[in-house]
Amino acid sequence: MKLIGVDTGGTFTDFVLFDGGRLRIHKVLSTPQSPERAILQGIREMGLDARGLRVIHGSTVATNAALERKGVRTVYITNRGLGDLLTIGRQARRELYNLQPTALAPPVPRELCVETGGRLAADGSVVEPLTEGDLDHLLARLHELHPRAVAINLLYAYLDDEFERRIEALVPHGVFCSRSSAVLPEIGEYERGIATWLNSWLGPLVEGYIRCLCEGLPDARVAVMQSSGEAIAAEQAAHQAVRMLLSGPAGGLVGAGYVGAAAGRSRLLSFDMGGTSSDVALLDGAPRLTREGRIGPWPVAVPMVDMHTIGAGGGSIARLDAGGMLLVGPESAGADPGPACYARGGMQATVTDANLLLGRLQAHAFLGGRMTLDVEAARQAVGRLADAMGQTLEHTAMGIIRVANEHMARALRVISVQRGVDPRGFTLASFGGAGGLHVCALADALGMRSAMVPVQAGVLSALGMLVARPGRQRVRTRLGLLRELDERQLEDELRQLAQGGLTELVSEGVAVDQVEIRYALDLRYRGQSYTLSLPWTGCRQTESDFHDRHVQRYGHRMDTPVELVNLRAALEGPGHPVALEAVGSRVEGKARSLVELYGVEGAVPCYERDDLASGQGFDGPALITDTVATTWIAPGWQCRVHQTGSLLLERAP
């Protein structure tokens, strides 16, 4: 079977094909209005037959719709008196000292919030029944409001989902429906409600997109990357839109971990710079997961890779503010029209245009020569900005790069220094189409002496899709003091929790004996609000591990009893056997040309990455070009080629 990983980015859609022997890569410009068109175009251009093809892809449909607030008309059903729950939220202020903050639009307009009976108490007892009159009223309201989707969130439904199921059964055919007891059956009515609403608000869009893609590839097996870094069959993903909000970036982390392990670098500070945005994260072996992620102003409590995203990419637009200060991003030229140098109608200066004018991008070597950049168009776009600033063209271009670098360095500090992690103990893994142009400057900004530009860096997210393992994340609230719980009963509950995910994986063709299951507990001291997640190793040992973790995280332990909050089960099937092709020990590659770069004395050697031999090393300054990206080795840095093809960079002593 041929395997193809696809990453649908804001500017380019990337492809990595594994045919059983070697990897083959491809890029096409994205089609944001209909992302499936770019995927189908790329598969056609690669000359692939859909029969027997397995496609694993990352989708930005849910992410873009959420950020642009373009979800569908959704009715939110909850208990009486709680119709304003999603609007009130946690009453957390974005601007603590602003006495007149800008009011945010509520997630669900008041007229689409419908209240009903079926209320449970915290112990699962019925406070208010769900009557036939309630159901008749709900049905009438749904016919009156004509929604495309419905989100059901009743209090404590994770204890007993009967009332939510009865409401779900009356939702008219063709209306997308989500219930909280299925989407996120855990404590926290606000977070559970937001997750359920997001799933319904975005669900029809994701469902329609996946249907179009599968219709275009009728004989292929299609899977989608989840925000947790695991793959799920397309037909199941269509109903789990909320788990796809970090679909593409998760692929980058999986790919970085895979390539880093092959190069002997498991502690990574990852930096993924594409055309529209940059994603940063910490990897210590495997990607870290969080249940405190956000999309726009809303919390997303489903498991997702722990990363920080900023609007700084190759397509980020440079401009002056009212006071004449240079700003870069978050607005992006995207894929259409793209940077000015793409010659597709873009008129504003971008980071890509600046890199081209500085010589760090070679006009005739972009995308392996398949796309020639328009230097004159870049000169005109940056020139207009330079005239407004009263600076030379080159000074303005360098200023754009420095401002963009500072934005990205700040993001790297957020994910490391601000969390008490010293980045100097990690390797900066830089990838994405634009990442290699900035890797040395960012490592210098954080005082890091080690960096890596992985093999296939320009399409690493697509490679991550290719090697992602099929998997599921399951959670259910189970409150109780840990010391008072029966260990055998707890293990039975954990196995029952995993059973649903196991059934889904088996339906995708994964053998039961090939599924790896890991159990964990969310614990806290009684009276606390936040939890720590610990691997399940038995009641006594897990409690001891919790005390140690609390000391490590917060600097102290307490004598208060430890309380269990949630049970968790993570299930993963086997990954695809994709081997990175060894570079080999051929004759060391020579520079194909010498180029002039602004701010660098003398000619700079320009290497073709495919010419480099395993173990070959050289000092910066140097340019390394390949079919999907360019790497700038700054003065003061040394480069060595690993046998897998990754570039290992070290700061010169």
| pLDDT single digits (tens) 252-268 | 899 999 999 888 898 99
Question: Is residue 93 scored above 90 in pLDDT?
Answer: no
The answer to whether 612 touches 591, Cβ cutoff 8 Å, is: no
At residue 86 the predicted structure's pLDDT band, cuts being 50, 70 and 90, is: very high
Would you call 506 helix, strand, or coil by DSSP? helix
CB 11 within 8 A of CB 180: no
Structure confidence by residue, pLDDT tens digits, 229-242: 999 999 888 899 99
Instruction: Give the model's pLDDT for residue 495.
Output: 95
pLDDT tens-digit readout, 354-387 = 999 999 988 887 766 677 888 999 999 999 999 9
Rounded Cα gap, residues 17 and 54, in angstroms? 10
**What is the structure's pLDDT at 95?**
80
Q: In this predicted structure, what is the pLDDT of residue 584?
A: 63
Q: pLDDT value at position 335?
A: 67
Give the pLDDT score at 586: 65
Place of tokens 């009684």: 526
- Confidence at residue 23, expressed as pLDDT on a 0 to 100 scale: 85
pLDDT at 518: 95
Pairing status of strand 637-641 against strand 617-619: antiparallel
Instruction: Write the single-letter amino acid at 433.
Output: G
- Measure Cα distances from 509 to 221, 455, 470, 500, 632 in Å: 11, 31, 10, 15, 44
Name the residue with tokens 């000074």.
395
Quick: pLDDT tens for 192-213. 999 999 999 999 999 999 999 9
pLDDT-based confidence at 585, cuts 50/70/90?
low
Residue 442 pLDDT exceeds 90: yes
Termini Cα distance of the chain: 48
Of the chain, the percentage scoring pLDDT greater than 90 comes to: 60
Residues 89-102, mean pLDDT to the nearest whole number: 83
The confidence score (pLDDT) of residue 307 equals 87
For the residues 452-465, what does the mean pLDDT come to? 87
Residue 586 or 133, more confident: 133
Q: At 325, phi and psi to the nearest 5?
A: -85, 140
Q: How confident is the model at residue 21 (pLDDT cuts 50, 70, 90)?
A: confident
Which band of pLDDT confidence, cut at 50, 70 and 90, is reported for residue 350?
A: very high
The residue with greater pLDDT, 607 or 369, is: 607
Helix, strand or coil, per DSSP, at residue 479? strand
Mean pLDDT of the chain: 90
Average pLDDT of the residues in 492-512? 93
Confidence label for 247 from pLDDT (cuts 50, 70 and 90):
confident
Q: Residue 186 pLDDT > 90, yes or no?
A: yes
Model pTM score:
0.85
Q: What is the pLDDT of residue 494?
A: 96
Report the interhelical angle of 162-170 vs 132-145 (nearest 10°).
40
